[in-house]
Amino acid sequence: MKDQAEKLRIMMNNMRQQVEYEIEGKETPTRIICISSGKGGVGKSNLTLNLGLALVDYGQRVLILDADMGMANIDVILGKVPPYNLYHVIRGEKKLSEVVTTGPKGISLISGGSGIVELANLEAPDLDRFIEGLAELDGTVDVLLIDTGAGISRNVLSYIYAADELIVLTTPEPTAITDAYGLIKSVEMVQKKIPISLVINRVENEKEGNAVSQKLVVAVRQFLNRDITVIGYIPDDPIVSRSVKNQKPFYLQNENAGASLAISRLAATLCNAPSKTETHGTLTRLFHRMKSFFR
């Protein structure tokens, strides 16, 4: 009952804010959150999709941009392969609004395409067509979740540079922790102001989650002189691997599973602690920030 009351409170607050913007004749500002990892295989796409669904349950209008260019797989996890993706936008065959797919609970998805080499090596002119197309979606999205590729490529860093905030996902594995630190260090070199949050995936228990997160928090503070915020742990739950095989998000399969409850708590944390950036604006500002990164 407590969780339901909290969810209702957050939903009512979101609705009140939307009404206030409509009365003032303003477009609803969009919160742009990048979800990244230092290495692949840590569950980043799964986190993005299920977190998006949980945010919808809290009254948020969510758009997922699967920006793992050429290796996108959120549509596969969802069991819904769209006929068009960003490749068609870049080639000028479709408008961005025409490649938006509607998923469960009304969540929206833009696929980055899979197995398309050109998408993994975008240059500034290539980005123009689809990022400018975001203007068509202004006022229709409360939260844009960007599922970037793993690692520290220029494309990954460009999305992080343009976002309001960054969520770094890692697992307790030493290699994943090391690569997560490497990602944060690279981000610090290009975007010192972006708030960084940390989520630990596949933990055996809260004790392990605390130990892993504190190790990373201390290292980042000591060597990079920057603070990061731990916002959640996700247990190593067998429902996650089953959901991938079934091509159905685990949050939809069983909302009372350990991983699902952790995702719901994470969504509530994000709703209760809005981005620390001073202002949110329209989606088109993503375009302007990314353009400045490539200059």
The answer, yes or no, to whether residue 188 has pLDDT greater than 90, is yes
pLDDT at 199: 98
pLDDT at 294: 57
The answer, yes or no, to whether residue 84 has pLDDT greater than 90, is no
The answer, yes or no, to whether residue 287 has pLDDT greater than 70, is no
Average pLDDT rounded to a whole number, residues 181-200: 95
Angle at the Cα of 78 from the Cα atoms of 283 and 255, rounded to 5 degrees: 95
Instruction: List domains and CATH numbers for the chain.
Output: 29-290 (3.40.50.300)
**Residue of 245 and 118 predicted with greater confidence:** 245
Q: What is the pLDDT of residues 48-83, one digit of tens each?
A: 999 999 999 999 999 999 887 656 689 889 888 888
The answer, yes or no, to whether residue 279 has pLDDT greater than 80, is no
pLDDT at 115: 45
Report residue 223 as tokens: 């060597």
pLDDT at 231: 97
pLDDT at 172: 98
pLDDT at 128: 67
**Residue of 277 and 284 predicted with greater confidence:** 284
Average pLDDT rounded to a whole number, residues 251-272: 96
Strands (E), the chain: 31-36, 62-67, 100-102, 108-110, 143-148, 165-170, 196-203, 229-235
The pLDDT confidence band at residue 278, using thresholds 50, 70 and 90, is very low
Helix residue ranges per DSSP H, 140-283: 154-162, 174-190, 206-224, 238-246, 250-253, 258-272
The answer, yes or no, to whether residue 146 has pLDDT greater than 90, is yes
pLDDT at 131: 64
The answer, yes or no, to whether residue 291 has pLDDT greater than 50, is yes
Mean confidence (pLDDT) of the chain: 84
DSSP 253-264: H-TTSHHHHHHH
Report residue 54 as tokens: 């949980």
pLDDT at 183: 97
CB neighbour class for 144 (10 Å; exposed up to 12, middle 13-18, buried from 19): buried
Q: What is the pLDDT of residues 87-120, one digit of tens each?
A: 788 777 888 888 899 999 999 998 877 544 555 5
Contacts of 274 (CB under 8 A, 6+ apart): 31
In Å, the largest CA–CA distance within the chain is 52
Estimate the share of the chain in helix, then strand, then coil, as percent rounded to the nearest 5. 55, 15, 30
Q: Give me the sheet containing 31-36, strands edge to edge.
A: 100-102, 108-110, 62-67, 143-148, 31-36, 165-170, 196-203, 229-235
The pLDDT confidence band at residue 255, using thresholds 50, 70 and 90, is very high
The answer, yes or no, to whether residue 42 has pLDDT greater than 60, is yes
pTM, two decimal places: 0.88
